[in-house]
Amino acid sequence: MDKELKDFAAKNKQNLGLVSLDVPLISNLNVWVNIALIKQYHQNLPDDKAELLVLQYLRVYGLEHIANKQTSALTNKERFFAMLIRAAMVMDSIIVIDRPFKIIPDVPDDRFIYNALNIIYDSFKECHIFDYTWFKDRYRMIYVEKG
């Protein structure tokens, strides 16, 4: 699986929005700066506009209150949402979620992920989930391509 993910990431490097524990949020930045960083760096978006944009995204998940939190203070679900919004900040984003149940171990199946993606469906081009074959049964709503 690691090789498949690496190959896919390499092929889509320019538009890759990775959600993975191997690509953590930056610990010395608070949540909104972590997310805004992508637009600020790649599109030179001024910090006040970037902050507003991030707050809009957090609001749709009802998570405005985590904007100024440090990443260490986040719950697993909050961390997942922050990583997902950060991935959606990439232009024409191809979101890749790497082993989502490692990030949100307390979630029983893919309904949570499906709903989370559905809310911001117009903010990304594609979404791909990479996971172990033995987690196949946990995917009911999302189309499973391989194993």
- CB–CB of 24/102 below 8 Å? no
The amino acid at residue 75 is: T
Among 1, 4, 46, 73, binds other proteins (CB under 8 A): 46
**What token pair was written down for 24?**
């953590």
Among 22, 52, 73, 141, binds other proteins (CB under 8 A): 22
Among 18, 63, 67, 82, binds other proteins (CB under 8 A): 18
- Asked if 117 is part of the footprint of other proteins (rule: CB under 8 A), the reply reads no
For the chain, helix, strand, coil in percent to 5 are 55, 10, 35
Q: Which of 99, 83, 87, 78 is nearest to 124 (CA)?
A: 87
**What token pair was written down for 19?**
């959600």
Distance (Å, rounded) from C-alpha 33 to C-alpha 41? 11
Between residues 51 and 109, which has the closer beta carbon with respect to other proteins?
51
**What token pair was written down for 8?**
């896919």
Among 50, 66, 85, 142, binds other proteins (CB under 8 A): 50
Between residues 25 and 116, which has the closer beta carbon with respect to other proteins?
25
- Asked if 72 is part of the footprint of other proteins (rule: CB under 8 A), the reply reads no
- Asked if 24 is part of the footprint of other proteins (rule: CB under 8 A), the reply reads yes
> Which spans of this chain sit near other proteins (rule: CB under 8 A)?
9, 13-14, 16-18, 22-28, 33, 36-38, 40-42, 44-47, 50, 86, 90
